[in-house]
A = this chain, B = another copy of it.
Amino acid sequence: MFRLDELVAQLGGALVGDAGVEIRRVATLEQAGEGDLAFLANRKYLPQLQRSAASAVIVAPDARDLLVDRPRIVTPDPYLYFARVAQLFSPLPVPQPGVHPQAAVACAVPPTVEIGPGASIEAGVELGDGVVVGAGCHIGRGTRIGQGTRLAPRVTLYHDCVIGENCILHSGAVIGADGFGFAREKSGRWVKIPQVGRVVIGNEVEIGANTTIDRGVLDDTVIGDGCKLDNQIQIAHNVRIGQYTAIAGCVGIAGSTRIGARCMIGGQAGIIGHLSICDDVVISAGTLVSKSITRPGVYTASLPVQSHAEWVRNFAHLRHLDALATRVRALEHPHDGRNGRNPD
């Protein structure tokens, strides 16, 4: 429970209206009721603002006077403010220091560290203060984890990796498995190339459930500070990602590709190997990136969904686009004996 003036004292913003209103949680405009603080992040939700039963709202300066019967916190970015209020109401759980008797731990454990049942930690692992190792996690020899980092249950860290401070790794994440590297004999048989690089993850990185990040072949795979990775992402060996890049679920990034800072990559996008994507690039959902990108901006490649019947009608032509273009050229140059087959 926070009073509005307590929130503003901690988080800033201008308070308009009754400063003493007590807030018990944050909510969307639609769900909010008595005691709830809602937010207007986008003017398309104005109708919901009018109908909302929220006790108070977070609004941008241009929406300051749209709802005059309720107290408001005025701030340039209501969504960001909402995030900070939500953190006040739902802080991360405090670690419960101690090693569960059903854990198998072969390294030194600082007294502030929490290790859950069934966790196994090999020799030479270094754990920073306040680290939480969830139930059933495995940490391979020589891996280092910075202070304040939390592993949810059933995370796997292979040997000799480095995880920064204040990271969150969700269940099923696998960090440091072998990259996919083989040389081929004439017979077709594959010879494994040992993967001796590491995975090095910066500070404040969040990694989603069942996401995998492979170790490098010779050099390292690197995830920059403040990157956020959603679930089921695959990062191949020797990928390097700059700081604050966010990647949505089911994305695959192939080997040795470099991605800049502050990029945003949509769900199910793919980036092939050995490319370079510059800073501040946005890749739309489902887009396969097959060449390097050197200028910031939004990039897209996806098909419009159609009824199956329309799709059958239209997409049959995709196999004959070249022929169609040739026919258009022939129509444009009717007296060209080569029937327009010459390049433009």
Contact = CB atoms under 8 A, between A and B. Distances in A.
A66 interface: no
A174 B191 CA distance: 24
B306 A317 contact: no
A99 to B, nearest CB: 13
A117 B120 contact: yes
A252 B268 contact: yes
A83 B191 contact: yes
A132 to B, nearest CB: 13
Contacts of A77: 183
A318 interface: yes
Interface stretch (A1-9, A12-20, A46-54, A289-297): A289-297
Contacts of A120: 102, 116-118, 135-136, 153
Interface in A306-344: 306-308, 310-322, 324-325, 327-328, 331-332
A80 B186 CA distance: 10
A327 B332 contact: yes
The complex is assembled from copies of this chain, and their number is 3
A83 B212 contact: no
B172 A156 contact: yes
A10 interface: no
Given A154-B156, A297-B307, A308-B284, A86 B226 contact: no
A107 interface: no
Contact of A228 (B86, B180, B284, B313): B180
A291 B158 CA distance: 39
Contact of A212 (B82, B91, B210, B244): B210
B246 A182 contact: yes
Tier of interface size on chain A = 35 or more
B180 A248 contact: yes
A70 B165 CA distance: 44
A89 interface: yes
Nearest to A284: B308
B321 A305 contact: no
Nearest to A84: B191
A234 B232 contact: yes
27 contacts: A28-B219, A77-B183, A89-B194, A90-B196, A135-B138, A138-B171, A152-B156, A153-B156, A154-B156, A156-B209, A171-B177, A188-B243, A190-B246, A236-B267, A250-B270, A252-B268, A267-B270, A268-B268, A268-B288, A270-B286, A285-B290, A287-B303, A291-B305, A293-B305, A299-B308, A303-B315, A313-B322
- A-B residue pairs, 5 tightest by C-beta: A104-B117, A90-B194, A83-B183, A298-B308, A301-B303
